[in-house]
Structure 1
Amino acid sequence: MNSTPSGPTTFGQLPPSTWPGERLGLPRLGPHSVGRVGRRIAALVIDWAIAVGLTCLIWGYTLLNYDGFVVLGVFVLLQAVQLAAFGASIGHWLVGLRLITITGERAGLWRPIVRSVLLGLAVPALVWDSDQRGFHDKIAGTVLIRR
């Protein structure tokens, strides 16, 4: 007699979420729900603009002539420091987001560093699951939620 499991046996076999964050026990909408793509992009644009501005001030570049790799380094450093210290970058804070672990705790020190370095590689941020968690968040065990 052939015995097959009646349901998923691993997390990878779970069906997609009905709403982002469902599998993590997060609400569909409102505070503590997963931060949606629009807010995340807005936060990214704000944080990138801050990194460009700081790079121009510190290294004497102009807004039309700067080294993108220097900006990327400043961006990653700012992300790691702000997320570890405050649980949100300036961009996240302005659009109402904060970073937590998937268990609901503060992200601590190592998670923001890993997340920020992977975000700097860009590819992990372009791939996400039905919970709208990018690969960088999945590896770090974090999720961006609404405040």
Structure 2
Amino acid sequence: MARWIDSWLPGSSLGPSDAAVSGYPGEQFGLPRDGVGAAAGFWRRFAAIAIDWLLARLIALLFSSQEIYDGFTSPESPWTVLAVWFGLTVVSTAIFGATPGMTVLGIRAASIDSAAVIGVPRALLRTVLLALVVPPLVRDADGRGWHDRAARTIVVRTR
């Protein structure tokens, strides 16, 4: 039985190579080229995470006992924001398949194995890898980062 990481390795027989993947992102999953259901682009995904981070920052400030100015310069503030972002991302992705930022931009994380929802374990894995920053930047021909590949998801457009 092959390991799940084998599909990430170059030359692996389990996953399609970049040459084997045809013309557009998501085609191997049966997604359309454009419009609803198509694979979401990098910049839309980047903007969604920026919106989520800003929202987490605002929520962290609401629950902070410090003044607003001090909240932006407090040494523990980045960890508080990370914790709020992490919880917001895991819960909303597990239940709805999309974070607030993803919803605003019309995208969502869909399971590649036709599951109705992603669920908590896969959302947790996806968010942990997303928080590490590098996994989302290393993308395959379908635009899926390591976090999407590990969680067996693909981000698609909803409008």
**Equivalent residue number for residue 4 of structure 1:** none
Residue 89 of structure 1, aligned match among 80, 99, 122: 99
Q: List runs of 5+ in structure 2 lacking aligned partners.
A: 1-11
Q: Does 1:42 align with 2:47?
A: yes
Aligned to 1:22, which of 19, 24, 27?
27
Q: 4+ runs of 1 displaced by more than 6 Å?
A: none
Structure 2 residue corresponding to 1:69, chosen from 65, 70, 79:
79
Contact 1:51 1:71 in 2 (8 A): yes
Coordinate RMSD, CA, aligned:
1.8
The equivalences for 1:59-138 within 5 A come to 59-61=64-66, 62=68, 64-66=72-74, 67-105=77-115, 106-138=117-149
Shift of 1:69: 2.0
What is the distance in 2 between the residues matched to 1:38 and 1:130?
A: 15
CA apart distance, 1:85: 1.4
Match of 1:21, as an amino acid? G
Q: How far apart are 1:84 and its partner, in Å?
A: 0.9
Q: Distance in 2 between matches of 1:34 and 1:46?
A: 20
Instruction: Work out the percentage of aligned pairs sharing the same amino acid.
Output: 36
TM-score computed with the length of structure 1 as normaliser:
0.86
Where do 5+ consecutive residues of structure 1 fail to align?
Answer: 1-7
1:103 is aligned with what amino acid?
A: D
| CA deviation vs aligned residue, 1:33-54 (integer Å, no higher than 9, x gap) | 1111121111111100001011
TM-score by length of 2: 0.80
State the shift of 1:55 in Å.
1.0
CA deviation map 1:86-138 (0-9, x unaligned): 11111010000111111232212211111011111111111111100011000
